Amino acid sequence: MSQTSAGNNYTHEIINLISAGNIEPRIAVVGCGGAGCAIIDRLGGNLRDVSTIAINTDQRSLENISADRKIHIGRSITFGEDSRGFVEVAEYAAELSVDEIKQSLKNTDIIFIVAGLGGGTGTGIAHVVGSVAKRNGIVDFGIVVMPFSAEVGRRAIAENSLMQLQQVTENTIVLDNDSLLRLSPDIQMSSALSVIDRTIAGVIDDIRDRMNRSFIATIADDVMSLNSEFQEEVYMENMIDQPLDVQADTESPMFA
């Protein structure tokens, strides 16, 4: 496995154990912020043998989604409200909750950190979750959705957050809302969200299947090729051809 600079010996040990067939990897998907949590809520039962963890500052939004475990962060800072685009506020909130985050990842070997970048909470906390994972020898991947170009001002914030996440993950898959529009300009927002959800579920399923076939030793390379497949827009195109059966969350702040 091509080890990123963020990798460590402990991570290697776990990878060796899994690839030797000595342990079944325990996988969790961690939704960060509004979009991240909405995505894992919509993915719900579509993910096989994967536990879900939802982390948000927004208490009401957290109450309205389903996840195996929910972590409400920043209670003493935002008093249960959204971080309103303040990345540092969310980051600080996550840092205050690192023990709880660590605890939630306790019996886990591999995590997928999912967030829509360009807002406040997901953007501020994704890399904090990645650091906790790294420090505890958990193999971690990021799957992020970059904002539409039309979301002026959010792109730069998103790019910065992505850079921080890439430093603490084995690899981060970047889904871009714009490439979705390029593929199919007339696509309805609800369908666009469904395609993103299905793409994320597909990526997680693919990686898990490969691991079950003991290919984890090459996982970083596999993800790398999935990533370029996506960038070639093949992945999304395949997804668009399939019937969409996942309901979009029209309550999402994206529609506000």
Ligand X SMILES: Nc1nc2c(ncn2[C@@H]2O[C@H](COP(=O)(O)OP(=O)(O)O)[C@@H](O)[C@H]2O)c(=O)[nH]1
* The one among 1, 15, 30, 35 contacting ligand X by CB under 6 A: 35
Which of the listed partners (ligand X, Mg ion, none) does 154 bind, with a CB threshold of 5 to 8 Å by partner kind? ligand X
41 is a site residue for Mg ion (CB under 5 A): no
Question: Which pairs with CB-CB distance under 8 Å and at least 24 residues apart come from 133-138?
Answer: 133/105, 133/168, 134/6, 134/8, 134/11, 134/168, 136/102, 136/105, 137/8, 137/10, 137/11, 137/13, 137/14, 138/11, 138/14, 138/105, 138/108, 138/109, 138/110, 138/111
Q: Does 253 bind ligand X (CB under 6 A)?
A: yes
| Residues in Cβ contact with 176 at an 8 Å cutoff, skipping those fewer than 6 apart | 145, 146
Q: Which does 89 bind (CB under 5 to 8 A by kind): ligand X, Mg ion, none?
A: none
Q: Which stretch binds Mg ion (CB under 5 A): 7-15, 51-59, 181-189, 225-233?
A: 51-59
- Cβ 144 to ligand X, closest distance in Å? 9
- How far CA 140 is from CA of 33, 43, 62, in Å, comes to 18, 19, 23
Query: Which of 35, 36, 44, 51 minimizes the C-alpha distance to 66?
Result: 44
- Could you say which of 151, 206, 229, 233 contacts ligand X (CB under 6 A)? 151
| Choices 29-37, 44-52, 66-74, 180-188 (CB under 6 A): range interacting with ligand X | 29-37
d(CA 3, CA 9): 10
- In the block, tokens 């909405």 appear at 38
Give me the least distance between CB of 118 and ligand X, in Å please: 4
Give the one residue of 31, 122, 142, 202 binding ligand X; rule: CB under 6 A: 122
Question: Which of 25, 34, 74, 130 is the binder for ligand X (CB under 6 A)?
Answer: 34
Instruction: Say which residues have a Cβ less than 8 Å from residue 213's Cβ, sequence separation at least 6.
Output: none
- Residue 134 binding: pick among Mg ion, ligand X, none (C-beta 5-8 Å cut-off by kind): none
SS3 content of the chain, % helix, strand, coil (to 5): 55, 15, 30
Using CB under 6 A, pick the residue from 19, 59, 121, 194 that binds ligand X: 121
State the minimum distance, in angstroms, from the CB of residue 90 to Mg ion.
Answer: 9
By CB under 5 A, name the binding residues for Mg ion.
Answer: 34, 58, 82
By CB under 6 A, name the binding residues for ligand X.
Answer: 33-35, 38-39, 82-83, 116, 118-123, 145, 147, 151, 154, 177, 193, 196, 249, 252-254
